[in-house]
């Protein structure tokens, strides 16, 4: 593959030159209708296939929330009047609904503002509480940015952090994890389902290993809750992060599961009135908590159906794309994966160019938390993806409300524009002629 610099040079060359195709025909890319997307008119809003970034609010969740945004507006921590009592009752019901989904006791569920806060409390809170005796934390190179940044903050406080590599399929090696655990280790943090490539880590195995080593196990389950079955006791999970807006609930609410027996001690990172067992001070937003509870309740009843729907739609999308386009690579393990998250690399196509061409479909080239960066995805680089392929990746996020028509339309548009962009690429033309791109030594001027 070409270096990033060489690709930019070729793109610049394309912008100002008229290239000759293999047939000898002169192509003016600025005027050739086959290669122009200027005449495409976007009628209405784009289709939404970015379910890993966020999900739409389920109408049933909104119905549950509305009374607490209008009539029942009391502070759930006010104990002296009916307004507070009715809000507190609603919050506790929501807590029970979250706990029921993950097989926990309601007293083990702490409401937060989202998975980012839950991850910060877990990683920093455990490390600091047990930091007098244990100064070692283990995580992986493909964790969410908030976990990685929390670990870097701990390194600044004198902690030692091991960032485990992952295999080419995105899964960690259990042998490497076991070797990394020392008597100094206080916490292992491994996400359940990766937000970029959808890979499912062997959470139950990790939990058993950590329990045998007397090490706390935290998992970021924002992309897994309500989508795959999770039982915190069977999986030996000590702390788990949950996000509301990833399961068709409202934004601004999440939860943290913290085991009580045997008790897990966490140092709070926020000072205040001592709400939520003193782990997360601040007024619990009743409407949002009710929304999260309702979303978890719906997920517990419809998870199996939703999962079958994801499998059907993801297979349909990939079958159509792979049948028409050569040199398309699926990133991540094809078996140990959540079917609603599909990450594909289209060789010899710039991912950002494809996203711009697919303007009538809302897609992503990676995590919404890091997509402002022009650097290739650190998750894809961690699994050994070439830089050029990492730049050519697109994430397709299928959700509960995605339709067959939307998947078919997306596949057709994707096939059309990948073909168009490749036809414009001199690299693709060289590959078609049998030239080994990797063997070329490109000179810099």
CATH of the domain at 108: 3.40.640.10
Residues 147 and 73 in one domain: yes
User: Quick one: what percent of the chain has pLDDT higher than 90?
Assistant: 76
Mean pLDDT over each residue of the chain, to the nearest integer? 89
- Number of domains forming the structure of the chain: 2
Cα 10 from Cα 22, distance rounded (Å): 18
Whether residue 33 is contained in a domain is answered as no
Task: Tell me, yes or no, whether 275 and 326 share the same domain.
Answer: no
Residue 281 pLDDT level (bands cut at 50, 70, 90): confident
Quick one: pLDDT at residue 216?
98
**Structural domain includes residue 7:** no
103 and 242 fall within a common domain: yes
Rounded Cα distance, 150 and 144, in Å = 10
The predicted pLDDT at position 16 comes to 36
- Measured from the Cβ of residue 297, the count of other Cβ atoms closer than 10 Å reads 21
Which residue in 146, 151, 369, 414 is the catalytic one?
Answer: 369
Q: Which domain holds residue 310?
A: 303-431
SS (H, E, C) 293-318: HHHHHHHHHHHHHHHHHHHHHHHHHH
Mean pLDDT of 269-294: 89
Residue 105 is given by DSSP the state -
Which of 94-108, 340-354, 364-378 shows the highest mean pLDDT? 94-108
Other beta carbons within 10 Å of 276: 22
**231 pLDDT exceeds 80?**
yes
Which of 272, 298, 324 is the endpoint of a domain? 298
Mean pLDDT over 89-105 rounds to 98
Q: What is the pLDDT of residue 102?
A: 98
**Span 14-19, average pLDDT:** 38
Residue 147 scores a pLDDT above 90: yes
Q: What is the pLDDT of residue 356?
A: 92
pLDDT score recorded for residue 428: 81
Average pLDDT over residues 241-269: 96
Q: 159 with 293, same domain?
A: yes
Residue 89 has pLDDT above 90, yes or no: yes
Q: Are residues 196 and 76 part of one domain? A: yes
pLDDT on residue 34: 54
* Residue 117 shares a structural domain with residue 158: yes
Strand partners, 187: 137, 216
Does 282 share its domain with 326? no
The last residue of a domain, from among 274, 298, 322: 298
Judge whether 218 lies within some domain: yes
Asked if residue 42 belongs to a domain, the reply is no
- CA pair distance 245, 295, nearest whole angstrom: 9
Q: Is the residue at 443 inside a domain?
A: no
Helices (H), 20-173: 59-65, 67-70, 82-102, 115-129, 145-155
Nearest to 279 by CA among 257, 302, 248: 257
What is the average per-residue pLDDT within 254-266? 95
Q: How confident is the model at residue 8 (pLDDT cuts 50, 70, 90)?
A: very low
Res 367: pLDDT: 47
> Is 369 a residue of the active site?
yes
Q: Are residues 269 and 340 in the same domain?
A: no
Domain boundary (239, 267, 298) is at 298
Asked if 105 and 157 sit in the same domain, the reply is yes
Contact present, 224 and 230 (Cβ < 8 Å): yes
Regarding whether 348 and 248 lie in a shared domain, the answer is: no
Same-domain check for residues 280 and 348: no
Does a structural domain hold residue 150?
A: yes
CA Rg value for the chain: 24
pLDDT tens sequence across 314-342: 999 999 999 999 999 999 999 999 999 99
Residues 324 and 373 in one domain: yes
Question: Is the model's pLDDT at 193 over the cut of 50?
Answer: yes
In a domain, 441, yes or no: no
Query: Quick one: pLDDT at residue 24?
Result: 44
Q: What pTM was estimated for this model as a whole? A: 0.88
């Amino acid at each position: 593959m070409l270096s990033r610099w060489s690709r930019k040079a070729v793109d610049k060359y394309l912008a100002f030159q008229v290239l000759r195709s293999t047939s000898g025909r002169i192509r003016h890319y600025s005027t050739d209708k086959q290669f122009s997307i200027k005449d495409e008119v976007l009628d209405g809003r784009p289709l939404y296939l970015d379910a890993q970034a966020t999900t739409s609010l389920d109408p049933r969740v909104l119905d549950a929330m509305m009374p607490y945004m209008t009539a029942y507006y009391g502070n759930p921590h006010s104990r002296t009047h009916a307004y507070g009592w009715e809000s507190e009752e609603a919050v506790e019901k929501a807590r029970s609904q979250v706990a029921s989904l993950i097989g926990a006791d309601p007293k083990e569920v702490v409401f937060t503002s989202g998975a980012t806060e839950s991850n910060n409390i877990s990683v920093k809170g455990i490390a600091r509480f047990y930091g007098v005796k244990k100064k070692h934390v283990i995580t992986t190179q493909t964790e969410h940015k908030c976990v990685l940044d929390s670990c870097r903050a701990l390194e600044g406080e004198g902690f030692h952090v091991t960032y485990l590599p992952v295999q080419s399929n995105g899964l960690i090696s259990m042998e490497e994890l076991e070797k990394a655990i020392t008597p100094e280790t206080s916490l292992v943090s491994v996400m359940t389902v990766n937000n970029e490539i959808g890979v499912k880590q062997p959470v139950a195995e990790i939990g058993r290993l950590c329990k045998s080593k007397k090490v706390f196990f935290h998992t970021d389950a924002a992309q897994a809750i309500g989508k795959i079955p999770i039982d915190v006791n069977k999986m030996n999970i000590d702390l788990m992060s949950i996000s509301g807006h990833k399961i068709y609930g409202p934004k601004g609410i999440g939860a943290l599961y913290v085991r009580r027996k045997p008790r897990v001690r966490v140092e709070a990172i926020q000072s205040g009135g001592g709400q939520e067992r003193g782990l997360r001070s601040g007024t619990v937003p009743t409407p949002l908590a009710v929304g999260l509870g309702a979303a978890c309740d719906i997920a517990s009843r419809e998870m199996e159906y939703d999962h079958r729907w994801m499998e059907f739609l993801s297979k349909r999308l990939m079958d159509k794309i792979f049948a028409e386009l050569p040199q398309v690579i699926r990133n991540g393990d094809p078996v140990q994966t959540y079917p609603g998250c599909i990450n594909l690399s289209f060789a010899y196509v710039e991912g950002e160019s494809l996203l711009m061409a697919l303007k009538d479909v809302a897609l992503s080239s990676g995590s919404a938390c890091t997509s402002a960066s022009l650097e290739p995805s650190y998750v894809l680089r961690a699994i050994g993806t070439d830089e050029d392929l990492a730049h050519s990746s697109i994430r397709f996020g299928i959700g509960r409300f995605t339709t067959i028509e939307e998947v078919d339309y997306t596949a057709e548009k994707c096939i059309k524009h990948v073909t168009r962009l490749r036809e414009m690429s001199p690299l693709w033309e060289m590959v078609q002629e049998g030239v080994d791109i990797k063997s070329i030594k490109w000179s810099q001027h």
